[in-house]
Structure 1
Amino acid sequence: MSPIQFNQSVLEWFDENGRKDLPWQINKTPYSVWVSEIMLQQTQVTTVIGYYNRFMARFTSLDELADADEDEVLSYWAGLGYYARARNLHKTAKIIVADYGGKFPTTQSEIESLPGIGRSTAGAILSLSLNQRAPILDGNVKRVLARFHGIEGWTGHPSIAKELWYWAELYTPKKRFDDYTQAMMDFGATLCTRSKPNCQICPVNSTCRAYLENTTKLLPTPKPKKALPVKHRWLLHIENDRGEMFIEKRPPTGIWGSLWSLPEAPYPLEDKDIIHFCREHLSLECEIDSHKTSFKHTFSHYHLILHPIKLNYLSSLPAIKESKESIWLTGKHELGLPAPIRIYVDQIEDEKRFDVS
């Protein structure tokens, strides 16, 4: 099948079956496409829609995003995970305002130079919002091309990625760039899916290597798996006599960067050592109240098991060993908390309301 036959088959399929009413497809601009593409990295469309609508209702323009406080940006991202995406989004907005007069750059090299934007995301912004010819290679497109050409090997390996980029460039047509980009995304997301692809109605199945050789279930080759290590941490649930919880802002780098969270302490520590930790690192005098049920959260590179321990706040100490932003959290707030921490805090608040009733 020639490149023209391939892209025309995909476009004809898109005209009949493609998604054309997603929120970011209405009144497309580089800003709206950029926000959606960053949110869609490693996140399903169904999950993103609600977050996207709330985010764009608050930050209606690139200038508004640039002017916003990082805490507020993160609060609208909380629950989506991979928080470096939100920090880079905010950082990039500031760069565009400062260096480009608030106008989104319109060349591949300029866009790729911005934080958090790679070659495929830059291509999506250019093609979807400006109808420029710019190939993409997101997860959906990798899957389609790997199957169509029977390419074995993990798509993240440089040599495999180079081959896939060759085909992505070759198949990109000389017109209808925006439609073709969206078509390839939709093709992978709704037809050539990861599991149970609908090969029988695929418009290019007559020359698809994976279909003809019955290797669809094997391609693309999964990333080599490693056993994820398990880490344990104490989660310090400190309450004052008003029932408020002590939370602190995490460092800008590392997991949950710049989000607000309950403090953590090394595990295991004896109860007396936890009290000492609160004195030394939080400048708080506390006493142990009770141990709560542990829970697990899985990141891409390790499992984290948190062991909540409730402590009663007695007093503050004058010497601050570590300078961190911290506040006492009331029941109602709009701060950005990591999803598992928010769930824990909400459960505690629900228990308090139940006890009162």
Structure 2
Amino acid sequence: MSSKFKWRSLFYQSLLNTKMEKYLADFADKLNDWDTCGNVKEKTKLSKQLASLPECNNVQLDINDIVSIASDLPLSEGERRKTISILKQFMPWRKGPFSFFDIHIKTEWRSDWKWNRVLPHIKSLKNKKVLDVGCGSGYHLFRMHQAGALQIIGIDPTSLFFYQFQCFKRYMPEQNIHFLPIGIEAMPSTQYFDCVFSMGVLYHRPDPIKFLKELKQQLAPGGQLVLETLVVEGDKTTVLVPNERYAQMSNVWFIPSVKALIVWLEKVGFEDCKCVDIGFTSTDEQQSSEWMQNQSLVDFLDPENHSLTIEGYQAPLRAVITASVASTK
């Protein structure tokens, strides 16, 4: 099988002898459709760049705040320059940080800060089946692996994020960590996963109730949802609907208060809903870098008052909500 399809075969093999095996044909159809949808020319270019990364043996994966891969034999200076040039074809790098054979990729987000806030408040992931909806570059998939998860699947329809993940996954095919370039709406109703993460997605959905139902459909009985999202201060009736943009993002639809969000979760059948962390995003946690040269948070805030966005809304306040689905009686 060609390298183009290797990641698929690894994913299909991971489903064998599990309750997900019955969805093999469905996943194959969705992934085959992906080949011809979107910007095919861009995907072809990124595939070629991916294949140009250095061939290294004895690659070790080290997962801490920085997700790193390294080899016993370091890159030569020429190989290093070429590799940096290739990796920059995958810019902007938003979620991380990563280290690629001692090349430090300083991403826009310090995603390790978010993970370190979330981890103390969730059930143990050891030997669990985990789904990350809207997984970005896949940084948190590696952190879930570090936490002992048995089977890890990330989904995100953004092709660039898929190829960023593959820059690392190609060196560790044996790890049961997989990225599918599809959205939640393409997932069958599996009721399979012990834990479903959705971090930084809800406010991008025009129908948040439908999205919460889709998340619930992925959880096994007794499973836990970990939902991280923008919120606003207020009571059960408070929901911000930005006029055109929020912090310069045009794809923000609804930002509820924590209390309103818990009402939404309970309305679709979640139990034991609680806010375990809340705080304003700082410009240290989200900022531009050599690897993400676009504007970032500091450019989206009122220059005279960082407690407001440039549009005059409350500055980004992010909460982590945990919730569960009922166990089978």
Q: TM-score, normalised by structure 2?
A: 0.29
Structure number with larger C-alpha Rg: 1
Greater share of helix = 1
Q: TM-score, normalised by structure 1?
A: 0.28
